[in-house]
Chains A and B, each alone.
Chain A
Amino acid sequence: MLRTLHPADRATLFILAVVTATLAVAAAGGAPVAASLGLHAGILVAFAGLATWMGAREGAVVRGIAIIAVMFTLYSTLGHVAFAAVPWLADPWLAAADRALLLGRSPSLVVEPLGATRWAEVLSFGYAMFIPYLYVSIVLSLVGRPPAERDEFVTGFAVLYALSFLGYLFLPARGPVVWMAGDFTLPIHGGTFHRIILKSVESVGGPHGAFPSLHVGASLYATLFDLRHRNPLRALIYLPLVATIALATLVLRYHYAVDLAAAVVLALAASHLARAAMARRGETARIAAEGAAEAAA
């Protein structure tokens, strides 16, 4: 049954199953996650039904929309529930790993002075541009594309988010902005864009899900996808934006440096795995077609 499913569906079902199972264990242990368990179990059942209905159909736009909807829902639900479901906080480990990266100095504190300058607003603008960049990239990857490319994008997207959510779930962290609040001595010199970011973070209940940085992972993945699919111009144009987003997440104190490193690795891995999965599917389809032709002959 699982083998007949599309790789993107498998990745989505995997993370939904892991989340639901984790919440079930947490609920059994007395954690207050019953409502979340119901919600995630419902999403799991609904998506399983949809995946079964779609089967291995190639290039279905509905698959892309469904998977992106599931992943964006998980992005907003998972961050907070992880703190209730998992009895540990990863911030101290991530902060320690960060210091180890710079031989004892925290990268967040090293870039702190930059946040106190006008650059903070420039970086806030870059950070805010993540959403339009990601949404436009999704539209351009789903519409007007050959089905195989559409499937590859959706598969890589599902793999990237599924792997990242493992980090959100099992390494729950609020980032330097909360954990290291007492260590920062300079306020962020933000303007309109920084205020917009603060409001949007507050609207989802405050900082959560630090490891890995999906801002960096998703934007880099979109760039890699363009680079691999005959659109080097778009990839080159947005490369500085990806770099700005990465620097902004650090300067605006939402992420540790290790979150960025993990995001880069995951984006590369998702890109590679999606390509490999599509190649394997293509090969399987070719062998099946040859078999059918031989049988017909």
Chain B
Amino acid sequence: MIYRLVRALWRAALFAFFRRIGVQGRGNVPARGPALLVANHTNAFIDGLLVLTRLERPVTLTVKSTLRRNPMLAALIRAMHVVEFHRSQDVGEGADPAKNVDAVGACAARLADGGCIVIFPEGVSHSDPALRPFRTGAARIALAYVDAHPRGPALALVPTGLHFEAKERFRSSAGMIFGEAMDVHAWRRDHPGGDAHALTEEIEARIRGLTANYDAEREMEIFGRAAELLETADDGPPPLGQEPAADVAARVSLIHRLQAGRQWLGHGRRAELEALEERVRGFGRKLHRLGITAAELFLPMEVPRAAFFVFREMELLAAGSPIAAWGWMNALPAYAVTKAVVMKMSKDRDHFASNSVFLGIPIFLLFWGMQIALVALVASPLRAVLYALSLPYAGAVALLYRDRAGSAWRRARTFLLLARRPGHRRKLVDEARSILADLRRLAAEFEAAETSNAVS
């Protein structure tokens, strides 16, 4: 009961913070039976909450032991039966790594009861462009369970890739990919001498396949720009409100392909590679200066379509404005306080979303509670009930309205910008198509080289 209530609150908070949360491969998580979800760790508490709120089955979180020092979190840890791990780097803050034997035992026992656990083997949340070295905790839990229950039930180890568009930005997007489940009993049979280190390597390889990892921040920009261009595929952006769910798995796979291609091109055709990278980077800078994306460059410029766009957006925004205004008006005090507190408390990019979600819930409940009490005092209990019902509803409308109005404004601005400078647009489109043609030519060459390598 408490678990469901807290999960519902977290779901609401994540709905408020993220504009979109895409989930792929949910079917890879078994509906029942022992399951160990192993994920990359890039957004502090949010990582665990994302997994917990996107699955219907109860999920046990694992956290660092130092969180218990916060009384509010300590209560949550108790209520949600969270398993605490003592990290060696937290010894100065009272952590006792010797207790991790108990933590691993507790996790194995939870799995034996058919539970589902999520764990982050990197051990620390970070903003690095690539995965950090994995610790062996996840593998030790899995092997402890398998060794204690050699005849099953089978343990499904599900590698999970978590992705954030811009984790420090309110109303950005998040995505998660549940990879193919790995049967740890089968792995044990196939690797009789395999220890926790060997299993950790296997897990790391699988998570690497579900995440985009770069050698440096600079690489992120180039691959991001190239992937965006390839995804655009000469086509305009979908109409607002009809955007398909983000295909994070396809984006990751494309990045991996680009990385492999870059490596191939780097052997012997270095100059060509550098020239192409410079073109991609230069093109990206031009788009950045205009404040548009590659897809927006291919925005349809026909007047009837633009007129229909105006009709559709005006209808929605005009009809929704009173409700959105009501929602914003009533959420503003709580929102302003949450924002101020979060800005003060967030010391790096990792903390912003977590603090927003964790602090936002009590602050909003407190403010809305006071507002409802005030209405009950000055009006009537019936009006207070109606007012209370209107708060989450109008709040949700206000958030979605903000997103839609922002997108509509951006699209209108882009249209006017490109319509005013048709020659400039044509040049940019030609440049985009030329880069795309080169990327596709190289992709075909790379594929041919791969095929001939495979044959020989």
Q: CB within 8 Å of B: which residues of A? A: 136, 140, 143-146, 229-234, 236-238, 240
Contact = CB atoms under 8 A, between A and B. Distances in A.
B397 A233 contact: yes
12 contacts: A140-B312, A144-B312, A145-B242, A229-B242, A230-B241, A230-B242, A231-B242, A233-B316, A233-B397, A237-B319, A237-B320, A238-B319
Contact of A240 (B315, B323, B396, B400): B323
B396 A236 contact: yes
B393 interface: yes
Contacts of A238: 319
A67 to B, nearest CB: 22
A236 B15 CA distance: 15
B241 A236 contact: no
A131 B397 CA distance: 23
B243 interface: yes
A238 B318 CA distance: 12
Interface in B383-423: 393, 396-397, 400-401, 403-404
Interface in B280-314: 305, 308, 312
A233 B239 contact: no
A146 B242 contact: yes
A232 B239 contact: no
Contacts of A233: 241, 316, 320, 397, 400-401, 403-404
Interface in B229-259: 239, 241-243
A237 B397 contact: yes
Contacts of B396: 236
Nearest to B323: A237
A95 B397 CA distance: 38
Interface residues of B, number: 19
A68 B284 CA distance: 47
Nearest to B242: A230
Given A237-B320, A237-B323, A230 B397 contact: no
Contacts, number: 41
B316 A234 contact: yes
Given A144-B312, A230-B242, A237-B320, 10 more contacts: A136-B315, A144-B242, A144-B308, A233-B400, A234-B241, A236-B323, A237-B316, A237-B319, A237-B397, A238-B319
Contacts of B323: 236-237, 240
B239 to A, nearest CB: 6
A143 B307 CA distance: 12
A236 B316 contact: no
Nearest to B322: A237
Contacts of B319: 237-238
A236 B400 contact: yes
A136 B400 CA distance: 20
B397 A144 contact: no
Contacts of B305: 144
B393 A236 contact: yes
Interface in B304-350: 305, 308, 312, 315-316, 319-320, 323
Contacts of A240: 323
A232 B64 CA distance: 38
A134 to B, nearest CB: 13
A7 to B, nearest CB: 22
A237 B323 CA distance: 7
Interface in B206-243: 239, 241-243
Contacts of B316: 233-234, 237
Given A233-B320, A237-B320, A237-B397, A143 B241 contact: no
Contacts of A136: 315
A144 to B, nearest CB: 6
Contacts of B320: 233-234, 237
Given A233-B316, A237-B323, A143 B243 contact: no
Given A144-B239, A145-B242, A236 B397 contact: yes
B406 to A, nearest CB: 12
Contacts of B397: 233, 236-237
B244 to A, nearest CB: 8
Contacts of A143: 308
Nearest to A146: B242
Nearest to B238: A146
A240 B397 CA distance: 12
Contacts of B312: 140, 144
Nearest to B324: A237
Contacts of A230: 241-243
Contact of B241 (A146, A231, A237): A231
A236 B323 CA distance: 10
Contacts of A146: 242
Nearest to A240: B323
A34 to B, nearest CB: 44
Nearest to A140: B312
Q: B239, B319, B401: which has the most chain A beta carbons within 10 Å? A: B319
A204 B400 CA distance: 40
A99 to B, nearest CB: 26
Nearest to B243: A230
Contact of A232 (B242, B243, B308, B400): B400
B441 to A, nearest CB: 28
B360 to A, nearest CB: 20
Q: A143, A230, A232: which has the most chain B beta carbons within 10 Å? A: A230
Nearest to A231: B241
A240 B326 CA distance: 14
Contacts of B242: 144-146, 229-231
A240 B323 CA distance: 10
Contacts of B403: 233
A231 B241 CA distance: 6
Nearest to A229: B242
B326 to A, nearest CB: 11
